[in-house]
Amino acid sequence: MKPLTYERPATLDEAVSLLGRGEVPTSLLAGGTNLVDLLKLDVESPQLLVDVNHLGLDRIDDTPNGGLMIGATVRNSDLAADPRVRERYPLLARALLSAASGQIRNMATTAGNLMQRTRCVYFMDATKPCNKREPGSGCPAVEGASRELGLLGTSDSCIATHPGDMAVALVALDAVVHFVAADGAGTIPIGDFHRLPGDDPSLDTTLPAGAIITAVEVPPLAFASTSTYRKARDRRSYAFALASVAAAIDVDGDTVRDIRIALGGVSPRPWRAHAAEELLRGAPATADSFRAAAEAELAAATPTGENALKVDLVVRLVTGVLLELTGSER
């Protein structure tokens, strides 16, 4: 760990101005549940840490249209326990509770969760090549330990996954990320927030340099009352997803009227299953159509030798989750 300077601004303006100077590599410190590890492991070496825990960004407010505005430093535990989240967005509450451990959720924040880095074992080991950590050094994962890694939206240069759960639910909900920077405030639809690697995996997100996330807005979605989050993993707590599904469904009789599906653990971004959703709108709410839609979504998958399991896993998870939500299992 390299020596660094620590600043704890009391206001958002002060934080933005610290960040806006851009004199030295700077990281924001919220819960620290990922960043502190990365500092110790020499994966990240900022020279300035700006602590954003004291900016008053820890409120959950109703929006006029019936959605929620979630402050950037609302803790994962608090968000999961909020009655409005539990009632309006069961998939979000369940995604949060499936993540990490109780201790980590008590520290981890909403914005920090979006900004967490991949847990690819090559990225996490500063003694090995990694295009995300050291652009141009190569990607040993493609031919190496890739069982946990991605198969949708990956590239030759990087197959790392976004490791989170919360963001998968937010992608299904069409959430919006709010930020401020020196030149003013802005928003990014969550679906555009995480980048695909292409030939430059070093940048995980589209958040502008010098910007600070202030809140995540979740719009209302009536049929999110029929929603859930399921995560397949190698142990029943404190493990990242092999694959996960966030889904909400609106069924009219035997027909799917509307649907949201997002996948975790399969891509550098929380993966909105647009192709599957398209196929299912207006389709019969049956196991066969659920399965066919999931298979269509996975048609573009490029599994490695080690993670081909995820193709079958996603198809089964999507089918099982939708059967459960619709109660249509024979």
Partner 1 sequence: MSALGAPLRRLEGTAKVTGAARYSFEHTPDGCVYAWPVQSTAAMSRIIAIDVDAVLAMPGVVDVITADDAERLEDADDGELMVLQSSNVAYRGQVVALVVAESLETAREAATRLRVDYQTGDVDAVLEPGHPKLYAPDEVNAGFPTDTSVGDIDQALAQAHAVVDHTYSTPAQFNSPMEPHATVATWSDGRLDVFESSQGSSSTVQILSTLFGIPAADITVDSQHVGGGFGAKGSPRPNVVLAVMAARRVGRPVKLAYTRQMMFALAGYRTPTFSRIRLAAGEDGRLLGLAHDAISQTSTIEEFTEQTAESSRHMYAAPHRSTSHRVAALDVPTPRWMRAPGEMPGMFALESAIDELAHEMGIDPVELRVLNEPASDPESGKDFSSRHLVDCLRRGAAAFGWEGRDPAPGVRRDGRWLVGTGVASALYPAMVMPSSARVTARRDGDYLVEINAADIGTGARTVLAQVTADRLGVDVDRVDIRIGVSSLPQASIAGGSAGTASWGWAVSKASLALVDRLKDEAVPDDGLSAEADTADDIEAMADVDRHAYGAHFAEVRVDLDSGEIAVSRMLGVFAAGRILNSRTARSQFIGGMTMGVSGALHEHGVMDAVHGDYANHDLATYHVAACADVPDIRVEWLDEHDDQLNPVGGKGIGEIGNVGAAAAVANAVWHATGVRVRDLPIQPDALVRHLPMRG
Give the residue among 87, 86, 60, 83 at the shortest CA–CA distance from 71.
60
In this chain, which stretch among 53-61, 78-86, 207-215, 315-323 interacts with partner 1, using CB under 8 A? 315-323
Residue 291 sits in the site that holds partner 1 (CB under 8 A)? yes
Residue 242 sits in the site that holds partner 1 (CB under 8 A)? yes
Instruction: Give whichever of 41 and 296 is closer to partner 1, judged by the CB atom.
Output: 41
Q: According to CB under 8 A, which residues from 115 to 174 bind partner 1?
A: 119, 121-122, 124-128, 140, 143-145, 147-148
Q: How many chain residues interact with partner 1 (CB under 8 A)?
A: 49
**Cβ 230 to partner 1 shortest distance, Å:** 7
Please list, in sequence order, all residues whose beta carbon lies within 8 angstroms of the beta carbon of residue 134, skipping any fewer than 6 positions away. Answer: none
Instruction: Give whichever of 12 and 292 is closer to partner 1, judged by the CB atom.
Output: 292
Q: Could you tell me the two tokens for 263?
A: 């996948």
**Cβ 143 to partner 1 shortest distance, Å:** 7
**Cβ 103 to partner 1 shortest distance, Å:** 12
Percent of residues in the chain assigned helix, strand, coil, to nearest 5: 30, 20, 50
Q: Could you tell me the two tokens for 209?
A: 């340099």
Q: According to CB under 8 A, which residues from 294 to 313 bind partner 1?
A: 309, 312-313
Q: Could you tell me the two tokens for 111?
A: 């914005």
Give the whole-angstrom CA distance, residue 295 versus residue 317: 11
Q: From its phi and psi, is residue 7 left (phi > 0), alpha (psi between -120 and 50) or beta? A: beta
Residue of 32, 198, 219, 320 interacting with partner 1 (CB under 8 A): 320
Instruction: Give whichever of 156 and 234 is closer to partner 1, judged by the CB atom.
Output: 234
Give the residue among 93, 204, 114, 123 at the shortest CA–CA distance from 167.
114
Question: Tokens 């196991």, residue?
Answer: 287
Residue 209 sits in the site that holds partner 1 (CB under 8 A)? no
Question: Tokens 């989240």, residue?
Answer: 85
Question: Tokens 């490029």, residue?
Answer: 302
Q: State the residues that interact with partner 1 by CB under 8 A.
A: 1-3, 41-42, 119, 121-122, 124-128, 140, 143-145, 147-148, 230, 232-240, 242-243, 286-288, 290-291, 309, 312-313, 316-317, 319-321, 323-324, 328-330
